[in-house]
Amino acid sequence: MKVTIIGSGSWGTGLAQVLADNNVDVTIWGIDESQIDDIANNHLNSTFFPGVKLNPAIKATTDLATVTGSDIVLLSVPTIAIQSVCEQVAPYLDKKAIFVNTSKGFHPDTNARMSDVIRASVPADKLSSVVSLIGPSHAEEVVERLLTTITAVSQNEEDAKTIQRVFSNDYFRVYTGNDEIGAELGVALKNAIAVASGILAGIGYGDNTRAALITRGIAEVMRFGSAYGGKKETFMGLTGIGDLIVTATSRHSRNFQAGYEIGKANDAQIYWDTNKKTVEGVRTAKVVHELAKAKNIDMPIIEEVYKVLYEGKEPKQSAKDLMLRELKSE
C-alpha cells in the first residue's frame, strides 16, 4: 500500500505520523522546500510542531512524480486549493486511487462540498472513490499520539473500510459512515460556530455561555444539514457534535483563536489585518449565510458571525442581539 499526502501542513504531517506508525509506505508532497527538507532530513515539522519528533520512516518531497503508483492520495490542503491540487496530481496517477479528503469547508467559487469537488476534478479512470476522513482531531494531539477517534465517510463502503483498516491503531480509532452530505456539512459548519465560541470567550463570557453556544450551535448545524440532505443522527456523531465540541473548546483550534482575537478587540478588522493561518470557518460563515438565505433556514449564530466578519458589526452587540431575539421554546 503506497500513500501520498498532498500538503506538508499540520494535518498532513499528523496523518503521516499515523501511517508511518502503522508501517505504511507514506510520502508527503509539499511546495515549501524548507519544510520538506525539515521533514525528510530532520524528522521534524518545526513550523507547526516545534520539537516534536516525527516517525523517521515518513518520506517527503517537492517532486509531484512521487504520486505515481499511489493506492491512496490524501489531500491535506485548505479547501481553496483542493480543486487545483486534484488537477495537478491526476496526470501522475497510473491507476485508480482512493482520494482521501480531510478538508472542512466549501469550494471558493461554487460552494460545493469537498467530495463533489474531488469527483469533478479527478478523471474517472484515476479515481476509485472519495473517502472523507473527518472528525474531532487536532493535528497537534495526533502527532503526539494522543487518543483520537475519527470517521471514514464514503459512498463506497469497501474503500471506507480500506481507509479504516490502514489508519486505525491503538491511539487512532477510525469508524466508517456513509452519510457524506451530513458528515461534510457537520465538519464545515462547526468551524463557523467555533469562531463564535472564540469571540464569546474573547469578550469575556464564561462556561454557561459556551455550553449555550455549543447546544444552540448544533441545533443550527442540524437544521441546515438536514435541509441540505444530511441525516439527523449524523449530527449527533463524531462529524457533528464531536467535532463541534473539540473545535469550540480547544486552545489548538485556529477558528477559536481567530474568534478570540476578534472578541477581545470587539472588532473583526484585527483578523483581516493580521491572520496568516488556515481559518476555514471565516469563509464558511459567508457560504452558510448565502445557502441559508436560499432555503430560508434560521441560522442566528452563524448569521451574527457573518455580520461581525463581513459587515463590521461589533461582537458585543451581536451577543446581545442573540440574547434578545424573539423568545422561543426549545
Query: Which residues of the shown chain bind ligand 13P in the complex (CB under 6 A)?
Result: 104, 136-138, 191, 194, 243, 246-247, 252-255, 280
**Minimal distance, residue 136 CB to ligand 13P, in Å:** 5
**Sign of the C-alpha dihedral computed for residues 139, 142, 147 and 149 taken in this order:** positive
- CB under 5 to 8 A by kind: which of ligand NDP, ligand 13P, none does 243 bind? ligand 13P
Task: Examine the residue annotation and report whether 59 is marked as an active-site residue of this protein.
Answer: no
Q: Which residue is nearest to ligand NDP (CB)?
A: 9
Strand order in the sheet with 172-177: 59-61, 25-29, 2-6, 72-75, 97-101, 127-134, 148-154, 172-177
Q: Which of 95, 190, 295, 328 is catalytic?
A: 190
Choice between 86 and 133, CB closer to ligand 13P: 133
Q: What is the DSSP letter of 70?
A: -
Contact 239, 190 (CB under 8 A): no
What are the two backbone dihedrals, phi and then psi, of residue 247, each rounded to the nearest 5 degrees?
Answer: -80, -35
List the grid coordinates of 199.
Answer: 469571540
| Closer Cβ to ligand 13P, 70 or 198, answer by number | 198
* Shortest spacing between CB 316 and ligand NDP, in angstroms: 28
Which residues are annotated binding-site positions for NADPH?
10-11, 104, 139, 254, 280
Residues binding ligand NDP (CB under 6 A): 7-12, 30-32, 48, 76-79, 81, 84-85, 102-105, 137-139, 278, 280
Choose the one of ligand NDP, ligand 13P, none that binds residue 4, judging by a C-beta under 5 to 8 angstroms depending on kind.
Answer: none
Burial class of residue 224 (count of CB atoms within 10 Å of its CB; 0-12, 13-18, 19+): buried
Residues of each annotated binding site = 7-12, 104, 135, 137, 139, 190, 243, 253-255, 277, 280
Taking the complex as a whole, the smallest distance from the CB of residue 272 to ligand 13P amounts, in Å, to 18
- Beta strand ranges found along the chain (DSSP E): 2-6, 25-29, 59-61, 72-75, 97-101, 127-134, 148-154, 172-177
- Residue 9's binding partner out of ligand NDP, ligand 13P, none, with CB under 5 to 8 Å set by partner kind: ligand NDP
Nearer to ligand NDP, 135 or 263 (CB): 135
What's the CA angle centered on 215, arms 187 and 196, to 5 degrees? 65
The interface partner of residue 31, options being ligand NDP, ligand 13P, none and the CB cut-off 5 to 8 Å by kind, is ligand NDP
Residue number with CB closer to ligand NDP (8 or 115): 8
What are the C-alpha distances in Å from 99 to residues 14, 159, 214? Answer: 17, 10, 32
Quote the strand ranges of 142-199, DSSP E.
Answer: 148-154, 172-177
> Catalytic site residues?
190
